[in-house]
Structure 1
């Protein structure tokens, strides 16, 4: 059973998400929070497998939560941003702050549950449309790369894996798509993180977009 924490300042939204997820056999809502501060406490209390996080909340917003979770490193659960706001800047800020996925609240239950399962399985959910928006936002802002190691040359196989990571594929799905063993894919992903100087898959995609590695 995948345990989910729902973080949103609107009670009706939290109740609606809970009701929808109750229709599934493998996902349950372990807890709820209505702002950033209570979200951190709820993560500590419930240890969810995935966090569904709104961005715009009073007091401490979603970006604040993501930034705070970065300090917890491996202990932090993957975060799926679920919001009504679709600006390029917000998408980029959320991904830079450590979000593993980004969906708008008008998604279907099938799309939401698919995203939750992908994140619980260690994947990211960056759809091609979101990847395009990230690329445009990165090109506009072009943050300084001071302090980052130079990107090492990627092999053709590593580029294939990176493109699938950018599209939100899990290691298992990448293995199936490229006819590789899952352990081999994990090794490729580890090498990609090292060559791109990234701490996780999301930051690897952002760095690749910034350096125009994906073409």
Structure 2
């Protein structure tokens, strides 16, 4: 049996997921939590195989923070993000935080079951809808080609900021980490995007992936 812990701030959502999943396809729901700190406590107490984690939990620790802390404490536990956010930035921040998978709340039930089994087996699962625009942009850039030496045009600081952006950090967070102003971060971001011929944040992520700048644990 796959032991599952459900984390969501809405009681109705948790109850619905328990009814849907408990006893299905060798899945046993062993507990539930309404926010991040409770999720971490329950995980340490119950030792689940998979944690089904919501991202937006306004009345406690959010899902991204809880995912990062839980992954550091219990790396053997697979964390599957179940969210309404169909956004590449959320996707990459979740992966960087230690999530094994990412699926949308409007996905078919069969996809959710498949995702749980996939991450429980040690594999990754990425919802096709969540990554559609990312992959589309990636293929367009491959098709159109890129200058092979464009990366060398970047300064060391621009390369550093590119890596932070690609990992999903906001300009404000990057400024805090590097002890520089948000305006300086925005300036470096604008310069590096111009040098690389890139117009959007998802394209920066794609570029960083191709350059091997993202090293997710």
1:71 equivalent in structure 2 = 72
Aligned length: 150
Cα deviation, 1:96-141, whole Å, max 9, x if unaligned, reads: 111111111111221111000001110000245544555669x9x8
Per the alignment, in what secondary structure is the counterpart of residue 125 of structure 2? coil
5 Å-filtered alignment, 1:91-130, equals 91-130=91-130
Which runs of at least 4 in structure 1 moved beyond 4 Å after TM superposition?
131-137
Pairwise CA distance, 1:19 = 0.3
1:5 equivalent in structure 2 = 5
Measured in 2, the distance between the counterparts of 1:92 and 1:68 equals 16
Give yes or no for contact 2:134–2:206 (8 Å, CA) kept in 1: no
Measured in 2, the distance between the counterparts of 1:127 and 1:31 equals 24
Q: TM-score, normalised by structure 2?
A: 0.61
Measured in 2, the distance between the counterparts of 1:73 and 1:13 equals 25
Give the 3 Å change call, closer, same or farther, for CA 60–128 of structure 1 in structure 2.
same
Measured in 2, the distance between the counterparts of 1:120 and 1:144 equals 29
Per the alignment, in what secondary structure is the counterpart of residue 85 of structure 2? coil
Bigger CA drift: 6-15 or 95-104?
95-104
1:59 equivalent in structure 2 = 60
2:176 equivalent in structure 1 = none
Pairwise CA distance, 1:66 = 1.3
Cα deviation, 1:167-208, whole Å, max 9, x if unaligned, reads: xxxxxxxxxxxxxxxxxxxxxxxxxxxxxxxxxxxxxxxx99
Structure 1: 5+ residue stretches without partners: 146-206
Pairwise CA distance, 1:69 = 1.9
Give the 3 Å change call, closer, same or farther, for CA 142–3 of structure 1 in structure 2.
same
Which of the two has higher C-alpha Rg? 2
1:212 equivalent in structure 2 = 210
1:80 equivalent in structure 2 = 80
Give yes or no for contact 2:5–2:48 (8 Å, CA) kept in 1: yes
Give the 3 Å change call, closer, same or farther, for CA 40–73 of structure 1 in structure 2.
closer
Give the 3 Å change call, closer, same or farther, for CA 112–128 of structure 1 in structure 2.
closer
Aligned alpha-carbon RMSD (Å):
2.8
Pairwise CA distance, 1:80 = 0.4
1:143 equivalent in structure 2 = 163
Give yes or no for contact 1:80–1:101 (8 Å, CA) kept in 2: yes
Measured in 2, the distance between the counterparts of 1:5 and 1:111 equals 18
Measured in 2, the distance between the counterparts of 1:99 and 1:133 equals 20
Structure 2: 5+ residue stretches without partners: 142-160, 166-204, 213-217
Bigger CA drift: 87-96 or 51-60?
87-96
Measured in 2, the distance between the counterparts of 1:142 and 1:127 equals 25
